[in-house]
Amino acid sequence: MLKAIWTVSLALAALSLAVMGFLVIARGFSESRRAKVAARRDALLASVIGWMAGETSDEHVTGELARDLDLSIDLLGELFEMVRGVEQGRLAGLAESAGVAGHLRAGLSRRSVAERLTAAETLAWFTSPETVAALDRALADPDPEVALAAASSLAQIGADRPVRQLLGPRFDRSDPSRRLEMVIARVARRRPGELAELALDAARTSRLRIAALDALAQAGAPEGIIAAETLAAQDPSVDIRVACARVLGLLGHPGVAPTLAALIGDAHWAVRAKAVESAGRLALTELAESIVALLSDENWWVRHRAAEAIERLREAGLATLKDLIERHQAVSVSKAPADRAARA
């Protein structure tokens, strides 16, 4: 046993040093390779920029891109972020004809999750039917991040799909990635009715319903007001009622004052805080009295948001506050002789 400890330790130390030696040698080779790749990348970038400026022919730049597709994907991924509008479309067309998009579509079925994820994300720039079909298939990817990235890319491309189809099994998962919110936000303009239905569906998870409400608010969809007003009155979930208060404040319809007034009186502090914040944002002067009353709420956040809201109501808020103070002082003064008498 004692000898074994010595032998095994020695063997492991020697093995680790041998592996490290091999890695050092490998690094030496890869460094020179890296330098060559960097030089090729610079040359490719110059070609593509020349092509965008009309100085290089389509054939030349297509050939250059096709020579090293992985490098081209890396380069174009960055260029897509820098250009906008027509230039983006031109670049996508160039990449498609050079086989870059095809290479990415093939990347969706690679073994490495990282490669599939990059492919699913980068394909958002390509609108061809082949890409849409490949992304549709990727919705069933075993890795949830890849599937959500594919859904997000489909939504960005403009492929009109039901939310349930885009989210697949993630639809009912209790703790999916925050990409879920991104996917839902991207379909809000196209499918506001579906999102409103989703928000109202008590059988769905709170995360999903709140994401639907927030997406409607971000899209400025009136369906969001109807859904939030309905849920604010009846939903037992605090998180949903907080979302309703937030959404009503963001969508900014003056007709929501009665609903916000009800939420200001909610039993949970988080709902009251969000409701009073929204009332302040919409400058609902008719709620000034209820807002001022929250200055003596038991919760710090409610009092804080109420103070902010009063500031936003300007004259109306300050006048109500003054009125309250005067009434309070009058009560104190009228009670003072009685208190003194009681103490005596």
Partner 1 sequence: MPELTPDLVVAATLQVVLFVVIATGLFQNGLYAVQLAIALVELASQRPERRASLLWRRYAEVSPPISLLVPAYNEELSIVDSLRSMLALNYPDFEVIAINDGSKDGTLAKMIEGFGLEPIIRDYQDAVAHAPIRGLYGSAQHPRLLVIDKENGGKADALNAGINCARAPLFCGVDADSILERDALLRAVQPFIDEPSRTVAVGGTIRIANGCRIERGRVLSFGLPRTMLGLFQTVEYLRAFLMARLAWSRLRTLTIISGAFGIFKRQPVVEVGGYSHGTVGEDFELVMKLHRHLRERGDDYVIRFIPEPVCWTEAPESWRVLGRQRSRWQRGALETFFRHAGMFGRPRYGRVGTLGLGHVFIVDVIGPPIEVLGYILVPLLWMLGLLSVDYLLAYLALTFVFGIFISVGSLILEEIELQRVPRVIDLVILTLIAVVENFGYRQVSNLWRLRGVWQYLTGQQGWGTMTRVGFRRA
Residue 100 beta carbon to partner 1: minimum distance, rounded to whole angstroms: 15
Which position among 47, 62, 72, 118 is part of the footprint of partner 1 (CB under 8 A)?
118
Q: Does 270 bind partner 1 (CB under 8 A)?
A: no
* Residue 321: alpha-carbon gap to chain centroid: 39
- 158: alpha, beta or left, given left = phi > 0 and alpha = psi -120 to 50? left
Q: According to CB under 8 A, which residues from 21 to 40 bind partner 1?
A: 21, 23-24, 27-28, 31
- List for the chain the helix, strand, coil content (%; round to 5): 80, 0, 20
What does the alpha-carbon distance between residue 174 and residue 162 come to, in Å, rounded to a whole number?
Answer: 20
Complex with partner 1: residue 182 or 262, whichever CB lies closer = 182
Which range touches partner 1 (CB under 8 A), out of 53-61, 85-93, 175-183, 230-238?
175-183
Show the site string, 72-91: x = touches partner 1 by CB under 8 A, - = not.
--x--xx--x----------
Which range touches partner 1 (CB under 8 A), out of 126-134, 193-201, 298-306, 319-327?
298-306
Q: Does 259 bind partner 1 (CB under 8 A)?
A: no
Residue 118 beta carbon to partner 1: minimum distance, rounded to whole angstroms: 7
Residue 129 beta carbon to partner 1: minimum distance, rounded to whole angstroms: 24
What are the counts of helices (DSSP H) followed by strands (DSSP E) for the chain? 19, 0
Q: Does 59 bind partner 1 (CB under 8 A)?
A: no
Q: Does 12 bind partner 1 (CB under 8 A)?
A: yes
Helical packing angle, 113-122 and 69-82, nearest 10°: 50
Complex with partner 1: residue 174 or 334, whichever CB lies closer = 174
**Length, in residues, of the chain:** 344
CA angle 125, 50, 84 (to 5 degrees): 30
What does the alpha-carbon distance between residue 11 and residue 236 come to, in Å, rounded to a whole number?
Answer: 64
